[in-house]
A and B are shown apart, each in its own frame.
Chain A
Amino acid sequence: MAAPLPNPAAVTGPARGLSPVHAVAAVALVAVALAPLLAPAFYVTLLNYIGLYSLATLGLVLLTGVAGQTSFGQAAFVGIGAYTTGVLTTQFALSPWLTLLLALALTLALGYLIGRITLSMGGHYLPVATIAWGLSIYFLMGTIERFGGFTGITGIPAVSLFGFTLDRERHFYYFIWVVVLGALWLCANLLDSRPGRAIRGLKQGSGMVEAFGVHTTNTKTAVFVLAALLACLSGWLYAHLQRFVNPTPFGINQGIEYLFMAVVGGATSVWGAVLGATLITLLKTWLQDLLPKLLGQAGQFEMIVFGILMIVLLQHAREGLLPFLQRWLPRRPRALPPAEVPLARRTMPSPGSAVLRVEGARKTFGGLIAVNEVSFEVAAHEVVGLIGPNGAGKSTCFNLISGALPLTSGGIRFLEQDVSAMSASAIARLGLGRTFQHVKLVAAMSVVENVALGAYLRGRTGFIRSALRLNGQEERAAFAEAMRQLERVGLAAHAHDAAGSLPLGKQRIVEIARALAADPILLLLDEPAAGLRYAEKQQLAALIKALKTDGLTVLLVEHDMEFVMGLVDRLVVLNFGQKLAQGLPEEVQANPAVREAYLGA
């Protein structure tokens, strides 16, 4: 599936250093602080629910909107938060603070377990698996008599904070919104960081992020657990706000409702969660007030009108409301302060030493032999072209070398190490960088952020330090490196554009910059000249030559013979998955078998 056409204004994430955004945030903060004093009492009630929904939806924004893993099960984790405290505070008289810890611990364990099992499923199996366990948990809550069954648990105590009982809505309001704003801050920080860029890259398929050393299963599981913890927190707050729980609010319908809020708000940004929760909650309330006046009858029409409005809204704003609003927000490119300590660089191998050795590589898909006993070598500082007609197995060969596909038989050695059984991220760690035949940039991230993702393996900060903004030095170094690579490829002027807004040819060059940001020893370029104009091709050729001078080794797949001939040191020709010829460009060009393969008999 091609990436949806991105709106350049929809670049999300970088909030650091944007003073207008700070101003908006400050206004929002004041509004939140004053709301209970100015708004009618009932609106405080609504704002409390909006806060709770925002928290659960925030988790879904991360998991579904950003990381691309659709889940219907978010409400079940809200239920786990609510039921843990509901049962333990009423039956064992535990302190709500203790039950909060227990609920979070339980969610962590369950989330990890469920995440591990379900996230290993790809495609559409994942959403339906979330429906399955979501419903199982829901029905379990209703069936166990100790948990109050479907009738529910009454008499849940209020939360006390420093001896002050939060049993009034206005007081609990502040508590809820401090938690919500804190969670938003942490999540916004997280998304704008090393692991955050990896999460945002997940939607482009695991192949892309793994090529930069991201362990996708771990990252997905971590996001899943984070989403579950946010949901659990929301549930814990719900139980102590409502002081009553029964299974109804934690069923599949509510799970869908959270998904609704995320999509309608704008699932690619943390603010979309608040926007979606606010819009849906207020809309339902207004419809409840308005429809009886318009139709002269209460009830029954709300759901119908609500559904129609949602359909119309999505038809006019399929990315949700946030991108709509962001057009009106002032935007300034992120500041890129210089790095105190630049990122460490690798030492390149000495010229002529073996970098890559492909030994009898073979790959079959079912009965089809895609790559058959192919062997060749690439030495340091060489530029080697891998060519062949369509369907010759070039890209499959690339995917075998980079570890994106497992070999059926044969072996691959990279820097004298056997990498045949290694994962893509492990091979990337050894110093292999690559681009993709179908461009895989994160369309909604800026160009420089995309390139910074390439430097993933050169940083170390994890989720927690990133969320708490303890990653300043490393971030500055990563962005300085990204800018350096953009200058190297000549796209520094586009650093702050949304990657998806560039023409395809330029996007290919951004991919090269991203691969370079990983400081690779061997660079695999998959059809880098496709879609480029003549002048751009000249520039690309010059760039590849410069890379060679800088000590890089390059293996490239290309169709454009003219482009390849003047550029490479050697050529390897594939046809029908087999090696047809190899040698100097002129030798290969003169080879009758090659001419036949290309021109047809």
Chain B
Amino acid sequence: MAVKKFITGNFYDEAVLFPAVTKVRRAGYKIHDVYTPFPIHGLDKAMGLRDTGLHTAGFIYGITGTCTALGFITWALTLDWAINFGGKPFFSLPAWIPITFELTVLFASVGMVMTFCYLCQLAPFVKKDHFNARSTDDTFVMALECTDKTNEQEVIGFLNNLGAKDVEVQYRETEWWLGRYDKDTKRFERKVEPVH
């Protein structure tokens, strides 16, 4: 992907944002995203986003942990080197439940966090373009993607009518790239070859 053209509008109140989202969708415009400083419950439903599959991933990771723990302990204490601990059976399942449980939780949580970071492209030194720096403070920023057919003036007027403030056209990179926030780097920097 590359740099695209967007029309952004700022909202300062959920009560204005929600009807705006519904109306924008009904009018047939494509919402690229809404950036908010905190989670707004129900906004994903209003925007028509699919439910996340992160829960399912967590369950699968958990089961993996259970199997790893039970399988490994069984192998180590019954097959690899069976040791007689106070005359108790080699396969003493009840005593292994605590470790099995801990590893289930460990695998599920570590796996889920890593999946979360992968899906949201979160990592140190990842840089992304912002529409408005205040979107992590107090502003809800709605970005509509423009296509060749989009009538800019019409969309800007439409957003203004819905209560959006400072509606403007912005060109933004949609992908992430490796960069630092103290340096103004872009995803693709054209290096001008010196002419000799």
Is chain B a partner of chain A in the same complex? no
Interface residues of A (CB under 8 A from B): none
Interface residues of B (CB under 8 A from A): none
